[in-house]
Amino acid sequence: MSDDRHTNRMQRKKDVVDERISRATEERGVLILLKGNGKGKSSSALGTMARALGHGQRCAVIQFIKGRRETGEYLFFRDQPNLDWHIMGQGFTWETQDRERDIEAAQSAWAVAKGLLENPDYHLIVLDEMSYMFKYGYLDPLPVVEALNQRPAHQNVIITGRTMATPLQEIADTISTVQDERHAFRGGVKAQAGIEY
Amino acid sequence: MSDDRHTNRMQRKKDVVDERISRATEERGVLILLKGNGKGKSSSALGTMARALGHGQRCAVIQFIKGRRETGEYLFFRDQPNLDWHIMGQGFTWETQDRERDIEAAQSAWAVAKGLLENPDYHLIVLDEMSYMFKYGYLDPLPVVEALNQRPAHQNVIITGRTMATPLQEIADTISTVQDERHAFRGGVKAQAGIEY
């Protein structure tokens, strides 16, 4: 391609992009769902949170499943002044094998989340692996939808987990599905610090 | 479901998970590709990097497209002692509209990346939006594959971008495809600090 043809083509592309940008004018918080069976949902939420922290925004994370404190993400983020990190999980259901305890943990986590969703000081709230709570029937999605709908207008929320409850999908602004096309684990590579946890 | 039935079912699930874990014994660095048209690829790479930093691992980021220094991610990560952050991009092709300059920027970025891929001190290297370099023909994927194959055995590499070059997909350990199911931008919501940048 000649440089002139390249420039013309890029000018046309720029016009299309600029036109799209000019139509997106609403300024408000968004609800983002990160679902699917692929690697990268929680890490994507945390990377977005790093962005928010970089802009001085107050953030909170609630982990609904993970109960460990030795994860790289916790070790890295725990001293951030603008961030609350709540480890409310007890591990996966097949690890705890105790349904009553799982339900209690889910409800405690939701009580904390609900308080954050009412607090305009928080700019971004990450509800990590919350979707399993609906899948297992530990939480009812409808009060969660109600709290999300009533949250402060500027507040961004990210919810992660493999399968997402339908009522949440109905009110979401952005939905990304992370598909597992290949995974090192199935190729025999052990889960490692700095990648999986 | 009764508590007993729940416990039995979870015990069976745990056996399956444990069996899978016992088969994944290889310990080495992995190549992760994050592709697709959905939101969350670069942020996922950065979230994984936060994990690695939390474990005290030395990391590097090379941004092949982005040329801005006011992004939340840069503001947040720039002071990390264990991290090198290289902003080597000039903006998207339709912004620069200058093919020669884009090619020069791509080649400078690759020269830096190649040095990192030879350096065993780096545990995780993020090559952000590198895939566009192959798509536009600014870089040849084959020397990149060669450098990846010869890198230190413990080194993890994450490459992001919408469409991924086939030779990279052939050697990758993990591939996640992030699909855009819905995006706030198309719903009229303006790109915002802390979410998009």
- Pick the residue from chain B with its C-alpha nearest to A13: B94
The answer to the question of residue A2 being in a domain is no
The answer to the question of residue B195 being in a domain is no
The answer to the question of residue A103 being in a domain is yes
Assess whether pLDDT exceeds 70 at residue B188: yes
The answer to the question of residue A8 being in a domain is no
Phi, psi angles (nearest 5°) of residue A59 = -130, 160
**Domains held by chain A: number:** 1
**pLDDT tens per residue across span A77-88:** 999 999 999 999
Collapse the DSSP code of A40 into the 3-class scheme (helix H, G, I; strand E, B; otherwise coil) and give the result: coil
**pLDDT tens per residue across span B12-57:** 888 888 888 888 889 999 999 999 999 999 999 999 999 999 999 9
The answer to the question of residue A49 being in a domain is yes
Rounded CA-CA distance A158/B125 in Å is 26
The answer to the question of residue B197 being in a domain is no
The answer to the question of residue B47 being in a domain is yes
Chain A and chain B share a number of CB contacts under 8 A equal to 281
- Residue A109 near residue A88, CB atoms below 8 Å: yes
Rounded CA-CA distance A30/A161 in Å is 18
The answer to the question of residue B137 being in a domain is yes
What's the domain range around A101? 28-177
What pLDDT does residue B1 have? 64
Chain A residues in contact with B21 by the CB 8 A cut-off are 191
Inter-chain CB proximity A179 and B174 less than 8 Å: no
In order of A46, B2, B60, B108, the CA distances from B80 in angstroms are 16, 50, 11, 24
Mean local confidence (pLDDT), B43-72: 96
Inter-chain CB proximity B184 and A174 less than 8 Å: yes
Inter-chain CB proximity A47 and B52 less than 8 Å: no
CATH of residue A123: 3.40.50.300
What pLDDT does residue A17 have? 83
Assess whether pLDDT exceeds 90 at residue A1: no
Percent of chain B with pLDDT over 90: 78
